[in-house]
Amino acid sequence: MSNETIIIGGGCFWCLEAFFRRLDGVVNAESGYAGGTVANPTYEQVCTGDTGHAEVVRITYDTAVISLSEILEFFWKAHDPTTVNRQGADVGTQYRSVVFFDDAQQKETIQQSRDAAQNNYSQPIVTQIVPATTFYPAESYHRDYYERNPDQGYCRMVIKPKLKKLGLEIAALPR
C-alpha cells in the first residue's frame, strides 16, 4: 500500500469531506484550512476572509486502489469549478475552488485533469492550482460533520442531495 495526499477546496469542507470519504481507496478525508497567511487559523478567522485561507480537505488515498486522476475527475463533478469564491449559497474567498500540489508531477496531473474537465463546462474553470502550503486541521466539531450530524439542516438540504446526485452512499459512515 502506497499512500499519497492531495489538498483540495471547493466550497464547504463538510461537503467535500463527506463525498471523498465514500470513495474506494480514500484512506482519510480531513477538513481544514490552507492557502492563507495566518498560522493556526480558527473557523471564525477564516470566515472573515482576512486570513487568505480556503476551507479544504486533505485527502489521503491508496494509490493501488485510486489514482490522483480519478480523485480529480470526481472533484470536478463534486462542485462548480467555474464560479469564483462561491459554491451555491456559500460565498467568500474561503469557498474558492483550489487544488494544492506538492511537486511538478502533481501539478501536471492536475492541469491535465482540469483541461479534460473543461469539456464538461460552458464557462471557464477558475480553479486555482497552487503550491501546497501548511494544512491546518479544522476544529473537532467540523471534522466528520456529516457523519455526526446527518439530520442537521445543511446536511439534509445540501449534502444528502449532492451525495445522491453523485451516486454515493447517503447513510452516515462509521467514524
Rg (Cα) of the chain, in Å, rounded? 15
Task: Return the SS3 of 111.
Answer: helix
- 147 CB-near residues (< 8 Å, 6+ apart): 18, 21, 172, 173, 174, 175
To 10 degrees, what angle do helices 13-21 and 68-78 make? 130
Identify the residue whose cell numbers are 481544514: 32
Contact predicate 18/59, CB 8 Å: no
Catalytic residue check, 15: no
Residues 6+ apart with CB under 8 A from 118: 124, 125
Question: Which helix (H) or strand (E) covers residue 71, if one does?
Answer: helix 68-78
Q: Which of 12, 15, 47, 155 is catalytic?
A: 12
Catalytic residues: 12
